[in-house]
């Protein structure tokens, strides 16, 4: 097991979720000890602690599960890519520099590209492409929002510090944070405790199963348009309660409708997101409202933006069976190994990754924000934050590996 070379203290940015909290203090008492992970304010964050406490279990490249030199591993990768007719670079859990290096490599070997979160990302992308949307930022939520409606999500399961960083704050500029009205509309197994205001006001909870959100959001949109529903309830949600929600939204000075695409996991979920964004557009005819898509993980926001800049198109979804070589890139999440397929698999991955089946080639790479510096877009797309290197390792970055591979294929 490899450890840091000397004790150190770092104020770091955490890439464990899309919020990219930049107030995480990481410190070591000794080179062999686990780091202490604390926040400048607020409660401990389990995702941050798990990320910065990740051990280094594997530092040697492997071919078919046997340790080899990096040169030998790269040589085998070059052989496999040269023989492939239809390669796929998938996973793509990396930062901006990593993707900017992976993209020209994909062009050189004529590979398709697909992020591991493509299914949830496309739910948002389809709406943005077809009708557009009006969305806000975490800073605007912090400074202006007086009503927040969380639709089909509690957010904290994905972004644990959302309420601490953007809702129950002490330094909002244009509103009283403690007076904010919080509404949970639908969702499964929600943790609504963070919606309790600092002065003890309970959030409004309007329960319905996630699978019924298409009907409920369509009803909300219709009521906002002034239409009459000739039923008493929609999927168990009383129309009178929806009427009350509509009036509160219209009276709000700055309402924010929040969703997490990963939580909307049902057929044609993009239509539900469209109901939400069109509700925002209707509200903006006479008042002020915005949407906010949260979640974000594994560098998906950054990778999707970078691909659009470089390619002009968004990342799409591909079927693994149609490709004769899978290259799996995963620098952030050791619990997401490459898919098991009946074809050669190359993995550029987190050093702590455990495989049920050893890939043809495994090259452990540095994790941005832990083993190497890097850059990521925050989930609200408005801020780019630098990631610091917080421990010393000999692991190469994805960009360094890709550059060496390109040289071998030249």
349 shares a domain with 251: no
Structure tokens at 381: 């797309």
Does residue 223 lie in a domain region?
Answer: yes
For residues 88 and 208, state if they share a domain: no
According to the model, what pLDDT value does residue 31 have? 60
Taking residues 322-335, report their average pLDDT: 96
Give pLDDT tens digits for 86-143.
999 999 999 999 999 999 999 999 999 999 999 999 999 999 999 999 999 999 999 9
Closest of 152, 136, 155, 133 to residue 274, by C-alpha? 133
Asked if residue 96 and residue 132 are part of one domain, the reply reads: no
pTM for this model (two decimals)? 0.94
Query: Quick check: 8 pLDDT over 80?
Result: no
Which of these three, 266, 294, 322, is where a domain ends? 294
Residue 336 lies in a domain: yes
Domain count, the chain: 2
Domain extent, residue 346, equals 62-117+299-373+390-409
CATH of the domain at 206: 3.40.228.10
Q: Judge contact between 358 and 62, C-beta under 8 A.
A: yes
pLDDT of residue 318: 95
Using the 3D structure, point to which of 294, 314, 330 is the last residue of a domain: 294
Angstrom distance (rounded) from CA 387 to CA 273: 31
400 alpha-carbon distance from chain centroid: 24
Per cent of the chain over pLDDT 90 is 88
> Is the residue at 16 inside a domain?
no
Are 225 and 348 members of one domain? no
- Whether 142 and 289 map to the same domain: the answer is yes
Q: Assess whether 354 and 317 both reside in one domain.
A: yes
Residue 40 lies in a domain: no
List CB contacts of 29: < 8 A, sequence separation 6 or more. Answer: 7, 36
Give residue 223's pLDDT: 98
Burial class (CB in 10 A: 0-12, 13-18, 19+), 143: middle
pLDDT digits (tens, 9 = 90+) for 222-267: 999 999 999 999 999 999 999 999 999 999 999 999 999 999 999 9
Residue 337 has pLDDT above 70, yes or no: yes
Coil, strand or helix: which one is 252? coil
Domain of residue 97, CATH code: 3.40.50
For residues 73 and 150, membership in a common domain is answered with no
pLDDT single digits (tens) 308-328: 999 999 999 999 999 999 999
The beta-strand segments (E) located in 235-334 are: 237-238, 255-260, 289-294, 325-330
Verify that 287 and 308 share a domain, yes or no: no
Whether 52 is in a domain gets the answer no
């Amino acid at each position: 097991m490899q450890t840091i070379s000397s004790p150190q203290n770092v104020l770091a940015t955490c890439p464990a979720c899309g919020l990219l909290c930049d107030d995480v203090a990481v410190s070591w008492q000794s080179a062999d000890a686990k780091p202490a992970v604390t926040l400048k304010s607020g409660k401990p964050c389990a995702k941050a602690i798990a990320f910065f406490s990740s051990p280094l279990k594997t530092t040697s490249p492997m071919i078919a599960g046997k340790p080899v030199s990096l040169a030998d591993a790269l040589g085998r990768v070059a052989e496999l890519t040269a023989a492939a007719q239809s390669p796929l670079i998938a996973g793509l859990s990396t930062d901006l520099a990593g993707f900017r290096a992976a993209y020209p490599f994909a062009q050189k070997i004529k590979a398709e590209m697909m992020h591991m979160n493509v299914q949830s990302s496309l739910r948002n992308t389809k709406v943005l492409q077809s009708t557009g949307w009006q969305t806000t930022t975490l800073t605007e939520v912090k400074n202006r929002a007086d009503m927040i409606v969380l639709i089909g999500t509690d957010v904290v399961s994905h972004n644990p510090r959302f309420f601490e960083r953007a809702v129950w704050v002490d330094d909002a500029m244009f509103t009283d944070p403690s007076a904010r009205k919080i509404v949970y509309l639908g969702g499964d197994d929600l943790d609504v405790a963070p919606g309790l205001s600092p002065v003890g006001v309970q959030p409004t909870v309007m329960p319905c199963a996630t699978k019924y959100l298409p009907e409920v959001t369509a009803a909300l949109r219709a009521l906002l348009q002034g239409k009459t529903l000739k039923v008493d309830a929609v999927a168990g949600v009383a129309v009178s309660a929806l009427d009350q929600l509509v009036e509160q939204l219209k009276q709000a000075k700055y309402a924010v409708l929040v969703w997490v695409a990963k939580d909307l996991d049902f057929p044609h979920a993009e239509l539900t997101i469209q109901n939400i964004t069109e509700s925002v557009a209707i509200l903006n005819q006479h008042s002020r409202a915005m949407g906010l898509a949260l979640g974000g993980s594994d560098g998906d926001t950054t990778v999707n933006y970078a691909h659009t800049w470089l390619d002009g198109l968004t990342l799409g979804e591909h079927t693994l069976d149609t490709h004769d070589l899978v290259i799996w890139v995963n620098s952030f999440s050791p619990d997401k190994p490459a898919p098991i397929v009946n074809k050669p698999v190359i993995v550029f991955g987190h050093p702590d990754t455990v495989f049920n089946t050893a890939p043809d080639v495994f090259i452990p790479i540095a994790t941005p924000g832990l083993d190497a510096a890097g850059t990521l877009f925050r989930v609200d797309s408005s801020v780019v934050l630098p990631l610091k290197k917080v421990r010393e390792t000999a692991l190469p970055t994805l960009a360094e590996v890709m550059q060496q591979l390109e040289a071998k294929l030249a």
